[in-house]
């Protein structure tokens, strides 16, 4: 069994990171977390500042995927200094990292996420993977753009996608035929990248930011006045000062973690 054992620091919170709502394929069992990532079934846990990942022997991939070489403690401190109100949410999210997910998976996942709840998002994505993804040992890979471009809106509707079905088709076709080059978006000027995403049917400002942040590694992309304000006002009330940090995207993830933890319905 291939395995990676790599230092991750004591503060890295694997569970918070993979269950935070920035990705939808990880699950927890007995303190270990599993998901199919980039076509491989990964099982991960942390112990004494070390991250263990079974299912791959590619340490560079693991460090990049979990963003282990970024100083999140320093970012935390910077964010709290900029907006002390976030200290409350920071307590729920200390140690959380922003994953480097596959762009196409993030694109489709966050289109599905709109006006939807996390359990149902996970279910839809799971069914799409089972039907259109390559079968691998332990499950199914996330489908390629080619595979999804071969499906019709009716096919996606049958999997419970609802009114988002044609949106998924449009996104898959754009990627497959090259009108939307996700790799290019990683380095393109941020406003051009955002504009390109907004051309996709069903992608508005919020989904665009999620794709930039979670699928394209664009942590600088976050225009706080678009919807951090919304998240902050939901938690702390109106007239909340805005952040201006280039790491506002990470702050945003903290806020979501706070909301998820405190407003989870039982």
Partner DNA sequence: GCCCAGGTATAAA
Partner DNA sequence: TTTATACATGGG
Q: Which residues bind DNA (CB under 7 A)?
A: 20-22, 113-121, 123, 157, 160-163, 201-208, 210, 252-253, 256, 260, 265-266
- Kindly state the tokens that stand for 118: 């996390």
Choose between 56 and 253: whose C-beta lies nearer to DNA: 253
Cα separation, 91 vs 104, in Å, equals: 32
Choose between 48 and 115: whose C-beta lies nearer to DNA: 115
For residue 235, the minimal CB distance to DNA (Å) is: 13
Choose between 9 and 162: whose C-beta lies nearer to DNA: 162
For residue 249, the minimal CB distance to DNA (Å) is: 8
For residue 47, the minimal CB distance to DNA (Å) is: 26
State the burial class of residue 259 (Cβ atoms within 10 Å of its Cβ: 0-12, 13-18, 19+). middle
For residue 85, the minimal CB distance to DNA (Å) is: 18
Choose between 119 and 189: whose C-beta lies nearer to DNA: 119
Assess contact for 88 and 141: CB atoms under 8 A: no
Neighbours of 151 (CB within 10 A): 19
Choose between 10 and 130: whose C-beta lies nearer to DNA: 130
Owner of token pair 């449009």: 170
Q: In what order do the strands lie in the sheet with 40-47?
A: 3-7, 50-54, 40-47, 32-37, 27-29
Assess contact for 263 and 231: CB atoms under 8 A: no
For residue 51, the minimal CB distance to DNA (Å) is: 21
State the burial class of residue 85 (Cβ atoms within 10 Å of its Cβ: 0-12, 13-18, 19+). middle
For residue 195, the minimal CB distance to DNA (Å) is: 13
Choose between 43 and 116: whose C-beta lies nearer to DNA: 116
Strand 3-7 to strand 139-140: parallel, antiparallel, or no bridges (unpaired)?
Answer: unpaired
């Amino acid at each position: 069994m291939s395995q990676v054992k790599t230092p991750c620091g004591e503060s890295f919170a694997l569970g918070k990171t993979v269950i935070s709502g920035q990705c939808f394929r990880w699950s927890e069992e007995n303190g270990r977390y599993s998901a199919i990532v980039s076509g491989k079934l990964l099982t991960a846990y942390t112990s004494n500042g070390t991250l263990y990942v079974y299912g791959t022997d590619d340490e560079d991939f693991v460090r990049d995927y979990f963003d282990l070489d970024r100083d999140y403690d320093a970012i935390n401190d910077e964010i709290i200094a900029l907006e002390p109100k976030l200290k409350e949410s920071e307590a729920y999210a200390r140690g959380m990292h922003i994953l480097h997910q596959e762009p196409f998976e993030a694109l489709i996942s966050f289109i599905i996420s709109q006006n939807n709840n996390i359990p149902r998002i996970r279910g839809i994505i799971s069914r799409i993977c089972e039907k259109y993804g390559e079968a691998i040992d332990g499950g199914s890979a996330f489908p390629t753009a080619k595979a999804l471009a071969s499906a019709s809106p009716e096919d996606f509707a049958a999997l419970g996608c609802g009114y988002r079905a044609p949106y998924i088709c449009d996104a898959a076709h754009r990627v497959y035929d090259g009108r939307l080059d996700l790799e290019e978006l990683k380095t393109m000027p941020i406003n051009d990248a955002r504009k390109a995403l907004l051309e996709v049917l069903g992608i508005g400002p919020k989904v665009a930011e999620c794709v930039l942040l979670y699928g394209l590694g664009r942590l600088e992309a976050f225009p706080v006045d678009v919807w951090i304000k919304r998240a902050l006002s939901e938690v702390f009330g109106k007239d909340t000062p805005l952040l201006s940090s280039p790491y506002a995207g990470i702050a945003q993830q903290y806020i979501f973690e706070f909301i998820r933890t405190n407003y989870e319905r039982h």
